[in-house]
Amino acid sequence: MFEKLTRLIAGDMVAGHYAVRLANSDAEIAAAQKLRYEVLFQESGGRVTREMLNTEREEDEWDNVAYHVIVIDTEKQDQVVGTVRLVSNTNLKEGQRFYTEHAFNIDRLRARYDSILELSRACVSPDGRGGAILMLMWKFTIQFIEHNNYQLLFGCASFKGIDYQAHTDILSYLYHNNLATAQLMPVPTGDVDSVAIADFKQPPTAGEKHGKVPTLLRGYLKIGARISEHAIIDPVFNTTFVAIYVDAQEMFQSDHALVTKALPEA
């Protein structure tokens, strides 16, 4: 099924010397894991384990049930320069939860939606952050959702560093403009260090906050994303993050051109 999907939507998934598709071998998945290690841990100051030092890869239990979107550089022997991991609720093993559920209880979302796709581990090589790589990853993911009729897209939106006070402006802005409804609110589990965003100062204006929004999150917001009312302090990845979700039906019922405009600019 997904080989057919790749053929259907990958033909125009090219930007210059970059191309995007699903990883189709263990070697390509390993290359994505290596990029994750380099960007999410070495570069960002995450807590590196001995196993990571030995393998130079970041991997976990969800990799075996995930679809790994990769962007390759055709001028560098198809080197993997961007990746994002997609996990479907239909692929989870019996009793297995989503990665995001280590920090948030999403039972309210699970009760509302039957077909759910989690995004995680999005990262781009330092040499390719001009926009084209992220644009390809985002475009591929949106079409993946559409072709497979997913009802919900969710994951975490992260900000670098565990000093959450450095992010209070943007988190407060998101709280006042993009807060999840009480009926669907992701709630922190008891095993994480969380802070209530409502306690932060009043948000800045839209113009002031724009430059502080990560590019991927900016795309989420343009297609109607909603965030949790708590932020999590994560010393493992050296980040502060919130839960985020998008109702796919609402996204595609809107003007399809708007969805396209949500793509990061190349």
Q: Flag whether 164 is in a domain.
A: yes
Q: By three-state DSSP, how is residue 121 classified?
A: strand
Chain centre distance of CA 107: 19
Give the span between the Cα atoms of 145 and 100, in whole angstroms: 18
Q: Which residues are within 8 A (CB) of 222 and not within 5 positions of it... i.e. 6 or more apart? A: 258, 261, 262
Q: Flag whether 98 is in a domain.
A: yes
% pLDDT > 90, the chain: 71
- The pLDDT score that the predictor gives to residue 120 is 96
CATH number of the domain residue 85 falls in = 3.40.630.30
- For 264: left if phi > 0, alpha if psi spans -120 to 50, otherwise beta; the answer is beta
Reported as a single tens digit per residue, the pLDDT across 91-126 is 999 999 999 999 999 999 999 999 999 999 999 999
pTM passes above 0.75: yes
Q: Flag whether 179 is in a domain.
A: yes
Give the span between the Cα atoms of 4 and 14, in whole angstroms: 18
Q: By three-state DSSP, how is residue 158 classified?
A: strand
Q: Which structural domain range is residue 189 located in? A: 2-261
Q: Flag whether 97 is in a domain.
A: yes
Q: Flag whether 266 is in a domain.
A: no
Q: Flag whether 76 is in a domain.
A: yes
Q: Which residues are within 8 A (CB) of 220 and not within 5 positions of it... i.e. 6 or more apart? A: 157, 244, 246, 262
Q: Flag whether 240 is in a domain.
A: yes
Of 25-29, 253-257, 261-265, which has the strongest mean pLDDT? 25-29
Q: Flag whether 28 is in a domain.
A: yes
Give the span between the Cα atoms of 139 and 112, in whole angstroms: 26
Domain count, the chain: 1
Reported as a single tens digit per residue, the pLDDT across 119-177 is 999 999 998 877 899 989 999 999 999 999 999 999 999 999 999 999 998 999 999 99
- The pLDDT score that the predictor gives to residue 189 is 95
- The pLDDT score that the predictor gives to residue 254 is 63
Token digits for 224? 């109607």
**Is residue 31's pLDDT more than 60?**
yes
- The pLDDT score that the predictor gives to residue 41 is 94
